[in-house]
Structures are given as structure tokens and as C-alpha cells.
């Protein structure tokens, strides 16, 4: 069986970068790197070829030299942002990477005096780490097929979602409170445009209190949670929730911070729907009341 050829780099380029890319190829070879490069294989060529028409070789890195943004170069940058270790873009002509394609742990190479040393360094580090070379056809087609992330709709409003969440929680508390009588508790809930005030009593003693207020420590678009009785003028909080848009599900959710509202110390933020948030709050109330009754 014939062995599949293997290269350190496979170079792609825009048509206007043809001469500069040849210089990159020559300099890379002088540095001891093996390079797959063909003056006919522009970005357009790599973009339209099917997997069966792409070179059957293994590569350490596929290196698109990006001098302008188009569908192909955007796909290559998206592949890097999602963790593809075989795509290594080189930015040229002061091209700017769009914010949605940036990643805090990715540093892009730029065309310049130290590019060859940086490429060689990346190859050496990949070899030292034991990274396997990738089949070039798979690397390119996989990168081309990554779907762009869903965008946040221009009509999404944190304040509209804040209103909806406050109204929903108020309605759910009002519906749940009467059920507490069968357990020996009396409850009241008052909810308006700015605040929900929930109080639960047993024999005239307040055993649980919760205020859900518009705005607070997290910003005026958030919901602030305060557990227990407190001075209405004090800046108290046991947690706060900011409306966000979940692009994976295409729905509005609430990003919950500082969850001592559930009886825990500060924890990592978690994302809930308004229905999930009410369920979590009511489960916490049930836990407190069960302990009180016991």
C-alpha cells in the first residue's frame, strides 16, 4: 500500500497574494519545513473542491494566508475559534478579525519579519506535544462545514425579558401560595411593576421572606433577589439574574449569579428559563418550610 505523503504546511492564498506566498514557501523550506503549495490553489480553489478532489496528503497545519474576509477565510477563522488544531491562519494586509471570530486563547500569526520563525515554532511545539497530522481533505472540508453561530435577534430586549420574568414569577407565586394552608402555613404575595414581596408565616411568625426587585447590583436590567426581612432602603442581595439570549436554543433565558438565594454560598453562574427559575425558587422554599415544620 502506497504511503500517503506528509507535510508540515499546506498553504492557501488569495490571488493577489500569489508572489508573496511563493516567498513564504521558499523561506519555509529554507527553514527546514516541508511545504505543499501550488500557484493555482487559491482560496477559491480550496473553497470549491470536493473532498475527493483535494490533495490526499497529511499535514501538520493548513495555512490560509488571509488578506481579506470572504466566506472561505471566515470559515477557516471559525474553525480555529472552535478548536481545530490543524488550521493555522496567517493574517496579512492589516486584515481585522471580526469580533465574533475572536477567541481569548487564540493568537493569530501575522505576515511579517518573524513569520517563518513563528511557523517553525508552531510545528516544533505540535511535534513535541505529540499532535497527529491531519488528512488535508478532512481538515479543509470539516472547516468549511462548520455552521456559523446563531445571532442574537436585533429585536431582543433585556428589559422586555425582565418585565416578562418579573410578571411570570409574581403570577406563579400567587398561584402557589394558597396551597401552603394545607401544610399549616399562611402566605401572602404582592407583585407590581418594580417588586415582588413574598412572606410566609406560621402562627403569626414570619418563617420565610423573599423580595424580587427590578434592578440592583447587576444592573438596572436585572432581577435582584433578597432573602429575609431587611431595611427597604438597604442594598441587599442574595443573587441576581440578567436576561440573555441563548443562541443554541433560540430562546431568552436568565443568567443567575451569586446563588445564596438557594441557601448556598457564591457559585458559578447558571442559565435557567423563567420556568426553571421559579421551580428552583419554590423547591428552596419547600426545603425551608419542611425544616421549619419539623
Tens digits of residue pLDDT in 84-130: 889 999 999 888 888 878 776 677 899 888 999 999 999 999 999 88
Q: Cα–Cα distance between 162 and 213 in angstroms, integer?
A: 10
Q: Cα–Cα distance between 216 and 143 in angstroms, integer?
A: 43
Q: What is the pLDDT of residues 155-213, one digit of tens each?
A: 999 999 999 999 999 999 999 999 999 999 999 999 888 999 999 999 999 999 999 99
What is the structure's pLDDT at 266?
59
Among the ranges given (17-31, 170-184, 239-253), the one the predictor scored with the smallest mean pLDDT: 17-31
What is the structure's pLDDT at 81?
85
With a CB cutoff of 8 Å and minimum separation 6, the contacts of 268 are none
Average pLDDT for residues 207-228, to the nearest whole number? Answer: 90
Pairing of strands 195-202, 205-214: antiparallel
CA atoms within 13 A on the CB side of 199: 11
With a CB cutoff of 8 Å and minimum separation 6, the contacts of 183 are 289, 293
Average pLDDT for residues 126-137, to the nearest whole number? Answer: 92
Q: What is the pLDDT of residues 54-63, one digit of tens each?
A: 999 999 999 9
% of the chain with per-residue pLDDT over 70 = 94
What is the structure's pLDDT at 231?
62
Alpha-carbon distances of 69 from 13, 50, 77, 147, 217, rounded to whole Å: 12, 22, 10, 17, 40
What is the structure's pLDDT at 11?
95
Average pLDDT for residues 75-80, to the nearest whole number? Answer: 92
What is the structure's pLDDT at 151?
77
What is the structure's pLDDT at 250?
86
Residue 173 buriedness (CB in 10 A; 0-12 / 13-18 / 19+): buried
Q: Cα–Cα distance between 67 and 61 in angstroms, integer?
A: 18
Give backbone dihedrals phi and psi of 53, rounded to 5 degrees, phi first.
-100, -5
pTM recorded for the entire structure: 0.55
Average pLDDT for residues 141-155, to the nearest whole number? Answer: 86
pLDDT band at 233; cut points 50, 70, 90: low
% of the chain with per-residue pLDDT over 90 = 66
Is the predicted pLDDT of residue 219 greater than 90, yes or no?
Answer: no
What is the structure's pLDDT at 106?
73
Amino acid at each position: 500500500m502506497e504511503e500517503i505523503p506528509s507535510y508540515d504546511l499546506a498553504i492557501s492564498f488569495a490571488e493577489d497574494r500569489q508572489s508573496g506566498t511563493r516567498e513564504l514557501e521558499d523561506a519555509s523550506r529554507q527553514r527546514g519545513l516541508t511545504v505543499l503549495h501550488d500557484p493555482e490553489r487559491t482560496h477559491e480553489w480550496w473553497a470549491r473542491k470536493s473532498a475527493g478532489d483535494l490533495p490526499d496528503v497529511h499535514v501538520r497545519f493548513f495555512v490560509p494566508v488571509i488578506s481579506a474576509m470572504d466566506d472561505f477565510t471566515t470559515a477557516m477563522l471559525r474553525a480555529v475559534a472552535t478548536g481545530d488544531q490543524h488550521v493555522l491562519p496567517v493574517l496579512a494586509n492589516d486584515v481585522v478579525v471580526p469580533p465574533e471570530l475572536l477567541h481569548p486563547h487564540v493568537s493569530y500569526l501575522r505576515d511579517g519579519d518573524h513569520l517563518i520563525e513563528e511557523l517553525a515554532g508552531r510545528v516544533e511545539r505540535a511535534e513535541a506535544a505529540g499532535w497527529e497530522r491531519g488528512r488535508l481533505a478532512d481538515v479543509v472540508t470539516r472547516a468549511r462545514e462548520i455552521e456559523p453561530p446563531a445571532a442574537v435577534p436585533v429585536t431582543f430586549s433585556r428589559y422586555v425579558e425582565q418585565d416578562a420574568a418579573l410578571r411570570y414569577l409574581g403570577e406563579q407565586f400567587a398561584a402557589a401560595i394558597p396551597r401552603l394552608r394545607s401544610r399549616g402555613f399562611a402566605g401572602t404575595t404582592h407583585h407590581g411593576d418594580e417588586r415582588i414581596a413574598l412572606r410566609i408565616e406560621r402562627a403569626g411568625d414570619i418563617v420565610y421572606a423573599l423580595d424580587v426587585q427590578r434592578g440592583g447590583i447587576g444592573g438596572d436590567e436585572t432581577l435582584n433577589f433578597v432573602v429575609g426581612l431587611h431595611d427597604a432602603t438597604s442594598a441587599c442581595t442574595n443573587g441576581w439574574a440578567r436576561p440573555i439570549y441563548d443562541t443554541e436554543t433560540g430562546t431568552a433565558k436568565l443568567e443567575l449569579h451569586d446563588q445564596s438565594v438557594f441557601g448556598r454560598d457564591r457559585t458559578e453562574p447558571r442559565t435557567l428559563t423563567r420556568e426553571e427559575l421559579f421551580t428552583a425558587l419554590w423547591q428552596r422554599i419547600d426545603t425551608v418550610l419542611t425544616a421549619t415544620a419539623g
